[in-house]
């Protein structure tokens, strides 16, 4: 793969998974070290993962971190323990490195049996987002209504619906609540017409793009491990859908990410 990283922003990646899955780095460390990649937000899925991520990635000037717990059924019953661990992450990390809470939310495909537990678990993380004035990164699969209802109870919190997978009507409801909408490589999938309609419609100031690497490689590589360099495909399609140039889209996404995550 021939990667050009210049000016791209990836608002959702799991960089520490790349090595475990044998994803070739394709010059990524050099691009990160030289500031070639605009900005990458490295996302947490477990309260205990932050230390290792910061140890290996904080040397790169354009990488920042989120800490949060994915709605694993083994975790959602352990609210207090996870709240304490996340709070410790937030108070002990070097200042400015952790810029968001997440990812967290609902996955009714993986775990449709425990909606009440998933709700309480997300509420715990929304409470932390409110307390520390940090944006939240929401994972929401097959649970648009429950997600909206829960986020509405925390009107002071803002954030992003990552890897958006709903319709433009649902996008409108999240936008009305002040949330950003982020599209991943599945935007390029053949059957993703509703996503493309949503991507064309999202207000310019609330649009974000991501890889969710190593998951969700865009169309030419669908099913393969996703590398952050593949984000170029998602950008190309989003620029086409919105009728703007690739350079203007890079500038827009960078400005939006900087605003949401309060980067200087």
Stretch that binds Zn ion, among 22-30, 85-93, 207-215, 249-257 (CB under 5 A): 207-215
Tokens representing 24 are 């070739």
Measured from the CB atom, the residue of 152 and 213 that comes closer to Zn ion is 213
Site membership for Zn ion, residue 210 (CB under 5 A): no
The radius of gyration of the chain's CA atoms, rounded to the nearest angstrom, is 17
Cβ 14 to Zn ion shortest distance, Å: 6
Interface positions, 11-50, toward Zn ion (CB under 5 A)? none
CB 61 within 8 A of CB 97: no
Q: How far is the CB of 240 from Zn ion (least distance, A)?
A: 25
CA dihedral 43, 132, 178, 244 (to 10 degrees): -40
Q: Which residue is nearest to Zn ion (CB)?
A: 212
| CB 264, min distance to Zn ion, A | 25
Tokens, residue 148: 């909206």
Cβ closest to Zn ion, residue 4 vs residue 20: 20
Q: Does 233 bind Zn ion (CB under 5 A)?
A: no
CA distance between the termini of the chain: 32
In angstroms, what is the minimal distance from the CB of 43 to Zn ion?
A: 5
Instruction: State the minimum distance, in angstroms, from the CB of residue 87 to Zn ion.
Output: 22
Does position 212 interact with Zn ion (CB under 5 A)? The reply is yes
- Alpha-carbon distance of 121 to 141, in angstroms, equals 15
Q: Among 59, 141, 58, 138, which Cα is nearest to 98's?
A: 58
Q: Site for Zn ion (CB under 5 A): how many residues?
A: 1
| Six token digits for residue 246 | 């690739």
State both tokens at 5. 């990283």
Q: Residue numbers of the site for Zn ion (CB under 5 A)?
A: 212
């Amino acid at each position: 793969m021939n990667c050009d990283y210049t000016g791209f922003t990836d608002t959702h990646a799991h960089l520490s998974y790349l090595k475990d899955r044998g994803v070739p780095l394709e010059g990524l460390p050099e691009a990160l070290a030289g500031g070639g990649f605009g900005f990458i937000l490295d996302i947490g899925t477990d309260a205990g993962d932050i230390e290792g991520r910061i140890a290996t990635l904080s040397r790169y000037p354009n990488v920042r971190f989120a800490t949060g717990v994915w709605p694993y059924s083994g975790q959602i019953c352990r609210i207090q323990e996870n709240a304490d661990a996340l709070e410790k992450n937030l108070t002990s990390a070097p200042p400015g490195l952790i810029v968001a809470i997440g990812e967290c939310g609902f996955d009714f495909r993986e775990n449709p049996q425990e909606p009440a537990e998933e709700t309480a678990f997300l509420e715990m993380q929304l409470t932390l987002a409110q307390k520390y004035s940090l944006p939240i990164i929401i994972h929401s699969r097959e649970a648009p209504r429950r997600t909206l209802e829960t986020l509405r109870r925390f009107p002071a919190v803002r954030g992003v619906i990552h890897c958006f997978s709903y319709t433009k009507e649902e996008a409108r409801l999240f936008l009305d609540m002040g949330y950003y909408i982020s599209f991943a490589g599945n935007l390029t999938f053949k059957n993703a017409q509703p996503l493309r309609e949503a991507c064309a419609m999202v207000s310019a100031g609330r649009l974000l793009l991501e890889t969710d690497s190593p998951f969700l490689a865009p169309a030419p590589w669908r099913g393969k491990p996703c590398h952050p360099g593949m984000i170029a495909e998602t950008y190309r399609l989003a620029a086409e859908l919105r009728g703007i140039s690739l350079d203007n889209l890079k500038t827009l996404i960078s400005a939006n990410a900087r605003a949401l995550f309060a980067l200087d």
